[in-house]
Amino acid sequence: MLNKLYEFIAGPLTDFLRKSYINNGIFFMDNYTFLHLAGGFLIMLLLFLFFKRLKLRYKFFIIFLLAVGWEILEVIVPLFSLDSWVNRIWDIIAEMLGGLLFLGIKKIFRRRTNEKP
């Protein structure tokens, strides 16, 4: 059972996630980038739900630490990948942008709910 799961993760799933859209040595974007973007969004959502009084800069710092920690884990555990440093940096940036995306959507919904008909 676990062997089949590993084969799926190491095979078709990884091939799909590694599909590169942009890779010019400066900017890197693949399907993992979208996962990091969603991860930053979800982490910021959780931080706003459970740590409401925490200052915004600390929330972003937590996202940053988690993103860097994940990238370090990818270096330590060879199961994940042998990504380039450019890819790793853009993964961290995508995670931070996910947090910003959450803030933007939150601001839009706050405006709409405060509007009077």
List C-alpha distances in Å: 31 to 16, 36, 71, 92.
Answer: 7, 9, 16, 14
Decide: 59 and 99 in contact? Cβ < 8 Å: yes
Task: Give the pLDDT confidence of 86-108 residue by residue, as tens digits.
Answer: 888 888 999 999 999 999 999 88
Record the tokens describing residue 61, joined without a space. 């710092």
Instruction: List pLDDT tens digits, range 26-37.
Output: 777 888 888 899
Number of domains in the chain: 1
Query: Do residues 46 and 39 lie in contact, with contact meaning Cβ atoms separated by under 8 Å?
Result: no
Query: Domain residues for 50?
Result: 2-114
Q: How far is Cα 41 from Cα 101, in angstroms, rounded to an integer?
A: 7
Reading the block at residue 99, the tokens are 């947090």
Any bridge partners for residue 29, and if so which? 22
pTM more than 0.85: no
